[in-house]
Amino acid sequence: MLFNSLFYIVFLALVVAISWGLSRWRWGRTAFLLACSCLFYMAWSPKYVLLILGAAAWDWAMARVIEKMPDEKAGLRKVLMLGSVGVNLGLLCYYKYLGFFAENLVAVLHAAGMDVAIPVAKLALPVGISFFTFQSMAYVIDVYRREMPAEHNLLRFWLFATFFPQLVAGPISRAHILIPQLHRPPRLQSDDVGEALFRIATGLVKKVVVADWLALNLVDRVFNKPGIYSGAEILVGLYAYTLQIYCDFSGYTDIAIGSARLLGIKLPENFARPYRARTVAEFWRRWHITLSTWLRHYVFFPLGGSRGSMWRANRNTLITLVLIGLWHGANWTFVLYGLVHGLAIAWNRLQTRKQPKGWSHDELPWAQNLWRIALTFHFVVLARILFRAPSLSAAGDLTQSLLHNGLGLARIDKGTWLVLVLGYAAHWAPPNLADRLRLAFRSWPVPAQGAALVAVASLMGVVAETDAVPFIYFQF
């Protein structure tokens, strides 16, 4: 069930109406939202809904046992926590990485002169498995660390694990943010509806008008047949993909946040204009914020963070960024993608330590940061080759074409140029412009907001060239 489909809009309207009708019956509302979340996921993978519920029940039970166990039994508490985390990582590895590991093991054995075959059945990847496993693991670890109490109600915990707006592509909502909201009676403040509708409309425009247009009219063509395009056209295609993936993923997040807001739930933000970043480290503080925060909290800091020597700080950074890359997919392109980002952050750290103590980019005049923004942006653009290419050889072919195929731009149409210019102009515009637009929309009467949404729907109907296109991050 795609967010950018009429079916989802009808589904959301019914869920919102009925759930608010049940708002005074807390158990009934929880059960209803859980059932709707399961139906939402079953539209993708009916058989895997039992996988989610079973894994969540295991984590719920382990967390309750861990909470009751005294600190004197620290060793046993840790074993139980690792057992719970191990089940989640086991599911993730089995469905997402088993074939990758087997393929590379066979390659190593063949290089050593051993003719070995490891048959691995091709499994359908449960949609959103990287999201719901990370969310559930974080909960158990937080309970183990005594950072939050265990949830005693299994029904409520199942809703936390399956809440449909953020189930298949985030944002990754940690338990201390989402579970307390499920305990409280739902509240809808005066500006919540306007804010929610604005976010949903913004997300739909990003997805359909920008992301899908660029994908269909330039990006897919360039990456499928780079040899027939000039180097300049490939570079523009990379700019287009960089804007496409941002509008696709942040558009999903906007719709998720808006949908949850209509139900009285506030989800965490996941983007903060990432292409305005002045360093690669700042880029990861602005891009997929809930994932980078998750890995910083549960991987980078436990490894030692940036404390100690420069070597240790950079080692921890490289481990974390390689895991970010691998999180995205079982492919060496993603491993290398994470590695080059980790190396760039290590270089940023080295340059920062050469500055006087207390130095910050924030203290510089904005003009002096322009070259930093441009350099960081182009690093991100070129690294997208690894993110988008299906293999290292395909990434190499596209890079060769980029460097050697000339400078013509004849294959890029006016509509694509217009979408590119307007998309990047909106992204780099002063943030207060978007804030003023949002506040103005929220102040409009309901009929005016409805008319604006009809206008957005009409624009989508004019621009859309195919049926609803799945979001990119569904594959992760």
The residues assigned a catalytic role are: 328
Phi, psi of 73 (to 5 degrees): -100, 50
Q: In whole angstroms, what is the distance from residue 202 CA to residue 447 CA? A: 18
For residue 92, the Cα-to-chain-centroid distance in whole angstroms is 16
Would you give the DSSP letter of residue 279? S
Please count the other Cβ atoms lying within 10 Å of the Cβ belonging to residue 462: 8
CA–CA separation, 276 and 374 (whole Å): 9
| Separation CA 375–CA 82 (nearest Å) | 41
Rounded to 10°, the helix 129-144/175-183 angle is 90
Q: Which long-range contacts (CB under 8 A, 24 or more apart) does 281-284 make?
A: 281/345, 281/348, 281/349, 282/361, 282/376, 283/376, 283/380, 284/321, 284/324, 284/341, 284/345
Structure tokens at 211: 């992301």
| Residue whose C-alpha is closest to residue 270's, from 285, 280, 259 | 285
Cβ atoms of 348 and 280 closer than 8 Å? yes
Amino acid identity, residue 94?
Y
User: By the 8 A CB rule, do 16 and 10 touch?
Assistant: no
Query: Which stretches within 93-128 are classed as H helix?
Result: 98-111
